[in-house]
Amino acid sequence: MTFEKITNDSECDCLNKSSENTTNEFIRKLGKPLLEDKDFVSYWERNKRPLIDDCKNICSFKGISMNLYKNEYEEQILNKYKTTMNINPKKGSHYLKFKLLQGAGNVKHTPEENDTSHHDFFKSDDFKLENITVLEIVKFA
């Protein structure tokens, strides 16, 4: 796997402590009840830049936000998704449960306040939607 899109335009070592993960289940909030290519396009790829341009934020914008799916985290994750939806319903009321296939990219644990299971997914240069296994799309609110 190569990660030139992650590494070539910043000095941040976003891939440090990241690794491939094809065993765990992850979930990611969707804007609509169907999976589209744009759901796996990072803010960085869309030319959006963070307000504070330190490596933590830059890497966060280069990655795709997702949560490790485990029963113990479910309540916390859904609380976060529901809070977002309550503030702005346009942000979506569905999530995608999926697994990554070999070659999809690397995963890094990036916990946040009130979001212990948060991970960033750094796509490999050849990533396509076919690199994930869709398990289900769930309406959470």
Residues of this chain that bind another protein (CB under 8 A): 29, 43, 46-51, 60, 65, 80-91, 112-114
Is the Cβ of residue 16 or residue 51 nearer to another protein in the bound state? Answer: 51
The backbone torsions φ and ψ at residue 3, rounded to the nearest 5 degrees and listed phi first, read -135, 45
**Whether 6 contacts 14, CB under 8 Å:** yes
Minimum CB separation of residue 120 from another protein in Å reads 10
Coil vs helix vs strand at 61? helix
Is the Cβ of residue 2 or residue 47 nearer to another protein in the bound state? Answer: 47
Minimum CB separation of residue 102 from another protein in Å reads 26
Helix (H) or strand (E) holding 84: helix 71-87
Minimum CB separation of residue 9 from another protein in Å reads 14
Is the Cβ of residue 17 or residue 82 nearer to another protein in the bound state? Answer: 82
Measured distance CA(134)–CA(126) in Å, rounded: 18
